[in-house]
Structure 1
Amino acid sequence: MEDVADFFAAQKFQIAIANLARRLSDDTLSFETNKQFIPFILSALAFFKTNPHDFDVTCQFNIKLIGDRFYSDISDSRIDEVGIENIFTSCYRFLSELAFYKDGNFPGNVAYEVHRTLEKIQYEASEIPARVKNQLVYADNFMPVALAKSYLNKADFGLIKSFDEKHSGLGKVVEELNTKLEASKKEVGALHDALKNYENAFNFVGLHKGFNDIARSKRRSSYLSICIMAVLACLMILPFLWKIWHVVNNESSSAFNTELFMAFLGYDLLLLYFFRVVFQGYKSVKGQLVQLDLRKAVCQFIQSYADYAVKIKGSNPALLEKFESLVFSGIVANEENIPSTFDGVEQLAKLFEKIRAP
């Protein structure tokens, strides 16, 4: 709520109502007045003293109309019957305005006490003089209409009316938004299904990538093994090609050279041994690649398999044991079938011993 100027909370007003309350409580008035006026005025002054901010906020209508006159009446040092009647009617109007804006359902609440005080006066209105009763009739019947009109003419309510006029087609806008929302829900559903497929395809993506990196390294090793075997094969047939070329171009020299033949034979056997070693390594790498490809394939369908198994069999702690034993098992290299270098040297030594034996 917007800030309002102090009227009831002003120090001069509080001093004035304190002085008036003291004077009325002395019961030394020099004139006759209605017995209901003084208790009602004292009750109203007590409300003004204990709840000044509530009256400042809610009673702006009467503050503007009769505020100055009311302050003049309560601060007048000479109090007569007409002055008491004016103070009574002014207090009644201020309390009626607060009761119009505020509801109180519990004892002790200022609005509840104000309602009770007003009702007491209304029940005994027959004893009030006609000139004062007319003011009460205005406060009870006509002032609420004036208060409502004042509220409706406020700038804030004008904004509400302007908003209602400008956005009279809001229902149509809401309907369009609902249509777009339904279409968006369908799109989101389609995207959800697509993402579910991607989840199944790329689940265990980290593990799949690790296997793929290992497989890439193994493939480079297999390519290198093929190149080495090709080089060894060329080196193995090179002596025979050289001998054929030499025989073709030197027909007169047909003598058999035993030492050269043995050198060629030993050279080819040595190359053959290394060729066999490289070939066994190549076969081992190919076996490992097959196992890695199997693991990558398993990583692509295991999520769907696990979901399906859970739905069919229920929760089972040993559900993925076979999968884990397959994926996380060591890669078999079959090294027991690959001959060592020293084994080859021993075989060559035995061959030379047999040749040299008489």
Structure 2
Amino acid sequence: MGFSFVSESFQNALDRLFETAQKNLNSKDDETKNWANKVRSLKEFFTNRTLEYLDINLHETKKWNLFDVSQLADSIIANDLLHLKYGALSFYVYLKEWEFRRGIKENEQHNPIVRSFYDFIYTEKNQRYLEFKTHYDFVDELPFVICGEIYSDSKLSEIRNFLEEKDFSDFNSFVETNTTTFEMIKKWEESFDEKKQAVLDLEKRLEESKQTYDFVLLNKGFKELYEQKKAELKERRNGYSSFGATLAITPLLLIIFSFIGFWLKGEETLKYLLYVMFPVSTFMLIILYFVRVSLQHVRSVQSQMMQLELRMTLCQFIHNYAEDSEKLHKKNAAGFEKFENIIFSPLVSSDDKIPTTFDGMEQLAKLVSEFRK
């Protein structure tokens, strides 16, 4: 006929059983005390949700009224020790079919309370097997009963007959083909990963080459500008030398011609010298002015060449500017700011200090006006 785990009578019987266990937790009789503690430890297990699951899935246990705690005899209930023993052995049957149905192996049971309960029941089984032989034998035969239930299912028989009637040679061939295909795909994936890594390595090398090349181009630009300034310095020095030579030769020639004139003409030569002195003096002042301008140009070009040499030296010192600029800024912001100011600032020249030709002519004009006065 069977029983139900969700019936009111079963719930009331559970409550009476747990009350008996609670009452004997500190019993003077050690045996009663031990059984009371084991039964009381499973109280949290029997929730409404668990009872519903047991009622749906424990088909074999429900067939036997022997395991229904609500149908225990009054003589058993009146004896606290027997009441606890029958209740605990019924729990043992419930838990075992529950585990078999869910596929939980005994060595995989992680609930310490359940494991402790099993250990206690196994000890009692070894010592007093005959007292609850029916319960123990039922649990031992339960796996075979459940397996027989599964294999005798009509749906399983239909599936088995269907598999026996069908020819699965094509399916086996398909599986073998798929296995070969999967192996090829796996090899392709491994080859793809290798090629992907090779491409990433090439990308990294190209990026490094690009950064190096960019810095080389910057250095090359500085070198080309340096060569231009070098040629310009040579031209400026030649101009400076020409003006300097003219400034030195002019008075010397004047002195030589004066001696020759004095030797040939005597004192009359002095009269001509007075007429020649003013234009020669003006000419020498003009040449002196251009000597000064040429000297300033030479110094300016030399200063720019020194700045270019400094930039080329810094380019050789820092190669990964595009990649390392952020790191360098964080480590030494002030120092790297000075580096950028040097590299990317315009060349400093002395153009503001070089007098223009027009300014020089104004100065000569003022000098001539002073002589007239």
TM-score (norm 1): 0.44
TM-score (norm 2): 0.43
Q: Which has the higher helix share?
A: 2
